[in-house]
Structures are given as structure tokens and as C-alpha cells.
Amino acid sequence: MREFIENLFIPSVGLSLTVSSMLITMLFAILIGVIIAGGYMLVNRRDGYSSYFVTALLVLPAVIAIIIMMIGSNIARAFSLGGVFALIRFRSEPGNPRDITYICVTMASGLACGTGYIGYGVIFAVFITLVLIIINAVGFGKPNEKAMMLKITIPEDLDFENAFEDVFKKYTKFHKLDRVKTADFGSLYQIQFTTALKDGTKQKEFLDEIRTINANLTVSMSSIVYEEGRKTF
């Protein structure tokens, strides 16, 4: 048993590939995938997640491991494999930074298993998964203020730079002008602010005061989500 555990920390690059070594490597790689996928589901249990992505996290370490084992120290195989992957076109949009982090963790763990450092791969996967769970639990990196996106439509003759200043001072903690664009062939302006309401402020009162200034034109307010690595609302 002790010898078996010690072998998990010994590199296998350059050694002949056997059925037993392949099965053991894939078994531990799948175990790593289960650990990482389980951590991902735990972190995203409130926001939801794709079952397809979870499945990919589960099997990706084994796929990477078997590729590395097949290549071994053969440079020609490595270049051939690189040429094959260069032909692949990924048409899906890039995921959010957190999902990309999990993919990188699974790939690194698979590389460790494929080169024979199975024990280190398991330790790495467990450690990083625990770190990501703790970060999510303590809310590290989350903004303190609940930012809102405010869109206001105004007549072209209204001075939008100063017209709402008193309202913002009364109801918001901060405000920042993000975008200005024209509408209806230049007869209207659509302005967009990032802001956060003061504690106890009622959105209806805030929006009603804005409507008295913008001639009762369209006003909308929505929460900003930063989960995708960019502002969405």
C-alpha cells in the first residue's frame, strides 16, 4: 500500500504505457473531475449551472491525462496533436472568468495525472476547489454597494449634465454617467448612469422626481450583474 501511494508521486513520462497504468490514471483523473465538478456545483447552487458544463469538468481531467500518456516524450506525436487541435473551431462565446478558472484547474490536474504526478494532481485539485468554495462563502471580491443601471430619456433641449444633480445628491450614494446617445432622429437623448441608492430610499420616489424633470419620458432602472466579467443588466 505504501509503495502504491509513493508511486502516485513519481513521474511516468518515458515509461511504457500499460493497461493497468492507464486504468489507474483514468480512475484518479475521474476522481479529480468529481471533486472539481462537485465544488463547482456547490459554488453555483444559487445561480444555477449547466449540466453539460459539469459533465465536461468531470471527464476533462481523464481526457487530458490519456492524451499526455499517449504522447509521452514523443515530439512528433506532440506536434501532430497540436496540428489536429489547430483545426478545431470553437463557435461558442467565451465563458465567465470563474468557469474558465475551473477549466484551467481541470486541465492542470489532467496534465499532472498524465505525467504520473497523480498524487500532486489530487492535492492540487482538492486545494484549489476548497479555496474557491471559501472565496464564494465569504463573499470575497463582491462589491459592497448594490449598483444599479439607470436609463433616462430626455428632450434634446434639456441640459442632462446638470438637470438631475440635485435628485442624485438627495437619493443616491454615487452616480456616474456611462453613455449618451440620440434617438428619434436627434429629437431625444438617452442617457445611462451607474448609481447606488441610499439606504431606505424608495425607488418609486426617486423615479418620480426624475420624471418631473424629463417631461415624463421613459425611465428604467435595473440591477447590474458582474458575474460574466462585464456589466450586464
Averaged pLDDT, 151-158: 90
232 within some domain: no
Average pLDDT, the chain: 81
Write down the pLDDT at residue 229.
45
pLDDT above 70 (res 75):
no
Q: Which residues does 80 contact at the CB level (< 8 Å), separation at least 6?
A: none
**Do both 132 and 203 map to the same domain?**
no
Higher-pLDDT residue of 110, 93: 110
SS3 state at 222: strand
Higher-pLDDT residue of 205, 9: 205
Write down the pLDDT at residue 91.
47
Write down the pLDDT at residue 228.
46
233 within some domain: no
**Do both 188 and 83 map to the same domain?**
no
Give the residue numbers spanning the domain of 48: 2-138
Q: How far apart are CA 82 and CA 104, in angstroms?
A: 18
**Do both 19 and 108 map to the same domain?**
yes
pLDDT in tens, 221-230: 887 755 444 4
**Do both 130 and 178 map to the same domain?**
no
**Do both 9 and 112 map to the same domain?**
yes
pLDDT in tens, 29-43: 999 999 999 999 999
Q: Which residues does 35 contact at the CB level (< 8 Å), separation at least 6?
A: 122, 125, 126, 129
**Do both 59 and 108 map to the same domain?**
yes
Write down the pLDDT at residue 192.
92
Residue ending a domain, choose from 107, 138, 169: 138
39 within some domain: yes
Burial bucket for residue 25 (CB in 10 Å: 0-12, 13-18, 19+)? buried
- Which of these, 71, 75, 73, lies nearest to 63 by C-alpha position? 71
Write down the pLDDT at residue 61.
92
Q: Which three cell numbers stand for residue 231?
A: 456589466
Write down the pLDDT at residue 33.
94
Q: Which residues pair with 181 in a beta bridge?
A: 190
pLDDT above 60 (res 57):
yes
Write down the pLDDT at residue 139.
79
**Do both 133 and 54 map to the same domain?**
yes
**Do both 89 and 57 map to the same domain?**
yes
DSSP-assigned letters across all residues of 6-34 = HHTTS--TTSPP-HHHHHHHHHHHHHHHH
- Which of these, 48, 83, 85, lies nearest to 63 by C-alpha position? 85
CB atoms within 10 A of CB 206: 22
CB of 225 closer than 8 Å to CB of 148: no
**Do both 112 and 25 map to the same domain?**
yes
State the pLDDT confidence band at 4, using cuts at 50, 70 and 90: low
Tell how strand 188-197 and strand 148-155 pair up: antiparallel
229 within some domain: no
Quick one: what percent of the chain has pLDDT higher than 90?
33
- Structural domains of the chain, count: 2
Quick one: what percent of the chain has pLDDT higher than 70?
77
**Do both 52 and 163 map to the same domain?**
no
Of 60-74, 125-139, 216-230, which gets the smallest average pLDDT? 216-230
pTM passes above 0.85: no
The single-letter DSSP state of residue 91 is -
Residue ending a domain, choose from 116, 138, 160: 138
Residue ending a domain, choose from 80, 103, 138: 138
Q: Which residues does 232 contact at the CB level (< 8 Å), separation at least 6?
A: 224, 225, 226
Write down the pLDDT at residue 111.
87
Q: How far apart are CA 38 and CA 54, in angstroms?
A: 8
Q: How far apart are CA 65 and CA 57, in angstroms?
A: 13
Averaged pLDDT, 128-148: 83
pLDDT above 60 (res 233):
no
**Do both 12 and 54 map to the same domain?**
yes
**Do both 59 and 164 map to the same domain?**
no
CB atoms within 10 A of CB 233: 15
CB of 206 closer than 8 Å to CB of 197: yes
Q: How far apart are CA 60 and CA 122, in angstroms?
A: 14
Of 9-18, 46-55, 155-164, which gets the smallest average pLDDT? 9-18
Averaged pLDDT, 210-219: 91
Whichever domain contains 195, its CATH number is 3.30.70.240
